[in-house]
Chains A and B, each alone.
Chain A
Amino acid sequence: MLKVAAGDRRAFAWLFDRYHASVARFAFRFVGDRERAEELTQDIFVKLYRNAKAYQPTARFKTFLFRVATNHCLNEVRRGEYRVAHTSSEAPDGEETGGVEMAGPDGDRPDQALAGRELERAVGDALRSMSDRERAAFTMCRFEGMAYRDIAEALEASESAVKSLIHRATLAVARRIEELQAGTVPARSRG
């Protein structure tokens, strides 16, 4: 009987391969720092397997995963271990330790008001300025394409609460982008 155990471990590895990029993306947008996002991602997957008993087969797995991820990130931020610091605004020039891979063409086309890096900074500033729950809801919605219903489940909130969170967060980002387009944003954010 060849390695049942190996098979089970591969089942976990398979889950990891399938979902870790989503979790890392969420964590990155949540804390705004590459290194800390990766630490959080690792911890979330360790926690995931330790808490697998709490998994309800009625819940979609991704929703369950994001509930674990959200709780973990919210707790870490509350404990003060992870200050939410969007390095794209902390280090506007030169190499950014927490920056994202600039894949594909950035926004240098003349018809675009903001270049990719400035857009990144505007969104980073807005994310930092909002509440933890607004940021979590916005991130799941905009970067993971999750439905409001699933976000509500992940945040253990009502759908109408999620609707408000996403609305306020999207308006905050909209204002920040508008400010930047109007050239009214100082080089350093006001923290």
Chain B
Amino acid sequence: MSCHFEEDLTAYVDGELPAARRVEVEAHLGGCTGCRATEALLRHTVARVAELPDFVPSVNTRRAVLAKLDALPVPWWERLRTLLRPGVLVPSAGLAVAVGLALVVVGPGPEAPEELEDPAVMELAANLELVEDYELLGLDSPEDLEVVASLHELEVAQ
């Protein structure tokens, strides 16, 4: 275990060494029985760990998370909706609308096309950032938020 190549062997087994170092390790393995034994042990271990059954989370997790989001002070989608109301749309907000609608059309499952992944993620982040900016306006008091909620109701009634 005192061989100084030993500490690179797991990265070697994982295919994580730079090419030059990989060549050196390969050459070394030819002449070092200790490292060859360690390499075999590591490969065996990686293979055994891969056999472990997958952890399957309970089906209640999703509902629990959405309930926790609902329980937060004011649902962020409500505030986002209010934010979009004045018609002064920040460019990324316009995109968010498009992505939001696209998701409604396509559906939320893992079958959503790959290319939706990054735009959806980024627009989610952008939306949340808008909401955070909105918080900077100081609308965190219950009264203000109630007003905001009412404004939204008025808008829907139009």
Contact A9 B77, beta carbon cutoff 8 Å = yes
Contact B103 A7, beta carbon cutoff 8 Å = yes
Contact A42 B68, beta carbon cutoff 8 Å = yes
Assembled-state Cα–Cα distance A57/B126 (Å): 10
Contact A38 B58, beta carbon cutoff 8 Å = yes
Tell me if B140 counts as interface (CB < 8 A to partner A). no
- Which residues on A sit within 8 Å (CB–CB) of B127? 8, 11
Chain B binder among A14-22, A79-87, A182-190? A14-22
- Which residues on A sit within 8 Å (CB–CB) of B125? 52-53, 55, 57
Contact B100 A177, beta carbon cutoff 8 Å = no
The total of chain A residues at the interface (CB under 8 A) is: 64
Contact A100 B120, beta carbon cutoff 8 Å = no
Contact A25 B55, beta carbon cutoff 8 Å = yes
A interface, over-half SS: helix
- Taking A147-B16, A174-B42 as contacts, is the C-beta distance between A4 and B81 under 8 angstroms? yes
Contact A20 B122, beta carbon cutoff 8 Å = no
Contact B44 A17, beta carbon cutoff 8 Å = no
State the B residues within 8 Å of A (CB).
7-11, 14, 16, 41-42, 44-46, 48-58, 60-62, 64-66, 68-69, 72, 76-78, 80-81, 84, 96-97, 99-101, 103-104, 108-110, 112, 117-118, 120-125, 127-129, 132
